[in-house]
Amino acid sequence: MAKAKFRVLCKKCKKFYLPDSTKVSRLGYCENCRFVRGKCKHITEFGYQCRNDSQVVGYCMEHFLKRNPKELVKDAKK
């Protein structure tokens, strides 16, 4: 039996979105509201945003150095 996808109301912006497989999405936050400005964009294994301040391209230095170069090129094209 196929799983039906239902739209969920975001807790922060109060707009409906389709949840994806991330833990933050399941907690009730849409893709636009997941990231706090000025903090690292990396999502931890627990589904929360990294608490460090952003230093390079929206990431803290630790997570920036661990990123795959191909992913960095994709981010730069955005």
Tell me the per-residue pLDDT of 22-77, one tens digit each, with 9 for 90 and over. 666 777 778 777 777 788 888 777 667 888 998 988 889 999 899 888 887 887 77
| Residue 50 tokens, joined | 């990294």
Residues 6+ apart with CB under 8 A from 58: 40, 41, 75
- Same domain for 29 and 63, yes or no, is no
Structural domain span for residue 28:
1-34
The answer to whether residues 42 and 28 belong to one domain is no
For residue 72, the Cα-to-chain-centroid distance in whole angstroms is 15
Assess whether 26 and 53 both reside in one domain: no
- pLDDT over 90, % of the chain: 3
Residue 24 is predicted with a pLDDT of 67
Question: Alpha-carbon distance 64 to 27, whole Å?
Answer: 26
User: Mean pLDDT across the stretch 11-16?
Assistant: 84
Clarify whether residues 26 and 42 are in a common domain: no
Structural domains in the chain (count): 2
Residues 6 and 17 in one domain: yes
Q: What is the pLDDT of residue 62?
A: 92
